[in-house]
Amino acid sequence: MSGESTVEIGLLLPDVLGTYSDAGNATILAQRLRWRGIAAEIRTITARDVPPTSCAVYLLGGGEDTAQLFAADWLRRHDQLRRTLETRAVTLAVCAGLQILGRSMSDSKGQHYPGLDLLDITTAPGRQRAVGEVVATCAVPGVGSLTGFENHRGVTTLGSGTAPLGRVLTGTGNGTGEGTRYRGEGVLTERIIGTYLHGPVLARNPALADYILRQATGQTLAPLDLPDQAALRHTYLGRTSR
């Protein structure tokens, strides 16, 4: 129970990448720890701050194009944080946040911008914006179906050694693999969970939240029964929800 050190959750650049309410993921992670008697603290890290490297989890959210390039630039300038994300912490990166962690991003004029190079992915604009509900089967054992709301124009191509977070059943996700049996959603590596899903994604997929917390703390976590959670999953997944 108590006596253990506080788990810090780093909410990166909510002032820049806050367009899609992904900051809710920080609240969800912190509360799920507290409800289990584990002390948790959200560290809000704005563009003016020197980012701490002590957090167990870092979160990046979605944002608009100008803001995204500013965020990529800011992250590149903070090398110690970059090294923390690469070697120690667990990161959940959503939408623009996911794209930033890749090798490069390009805009509609074909201009390339460097990413943080933590993921072997590249992102280019698609023909049209992908807006709507997504259902995917999550590659993390025990998580089941992923539900979320996507709203992006990015088409993200994964390098051959990089695995997606899930397989799209409905919706667009990464936007690659059209016409094949496997259309991917997001990215999953040992330390980074990347996704296009808002909602926020952890509100709709509590098993993914607990996976992140287990990875970050090394602790086993007791199950939680939250009122309305089953009804929420049912809203978006229908009878197949688990």
Partner 1 sequence: MVVQTPGAGPVAMAPPGQLRLGWWTRAAVHAGLATAGLSRRLGLGAGSIIGGRVTLALDRHALRHLAAGRRVVLVSGTNGKTTTSHLVAAAVRTAGRVAHNAGGSNMADGAVAALAEARDTEYAVIEVDELHLAAVAEAVDPAVVVLLNLTRDQLDRATEVGAIASAVGRALARHPSTVVVANADDPMVVSAAALASRPIWVAAGASWLGDASSCPRCGQTLTFTEPGWQCACGLSRPTPDWWIEDSKVYTADAVLPLDIRLPGQVNRSNAAMALAAACAVGISADQAASALREVDVVAGRYAVVHRGGQDLRMLLAKNPAGWAGMLSMLSEPRPLLVIINAREADGRDTSWLWDVPFEHFGSRQVVASGERAADLGVRLSYAGLDHCTVADPLAALETLPPGQIDVVANYTAFHQFRRRLSREREATG
Residue 24 binds partner 1 (CB under 8 A): yes
Identity of residue 119: L
Going by C-alpha positions, the residue among 108, 134, 97 that lies closest to residue 237 is 134
Residue 235 binds partner 1 (CB under 8 A): yes
Residue 5, burial from CB neighbour count under 10 angstroms (0-12, 13-18, 19+): exposed
Question: Which residues inside 63-92 make contact with partner 1, applying CB under 8 A?
Answer: 64-67, 69-70
- Given the rule CB under 8 A, which of 26-34, 103-111, 135-143, 158-166 is the region that contacts partner 1? 26-34
CB 81 within 8 A of CB 51: yes
Helix axes 24-34, 206-217, angle to 10 degrees: 70
Question: Which residues inside 122-141 make contact with partner 1, applying CB under 8 A?
Answer: 129, 131-133
Residue from 88, 226, 238, 242 binding partner 1 (CB under 8 A): 226
Tokens encoding 196: 């296009």
Distance CA 163, CA 177 (A): 13
CB of 4 to partner 1, least distance (A): 22
Task: Report the interface residues with partner 1, using CB under 8 A.
Answer: 15-16, 18-24, 27-28, 31, 46-48, 64-67, 69-70, 129, 131-133, 149, 151, 198-200, 203, 226-229, 231-232, 234-235
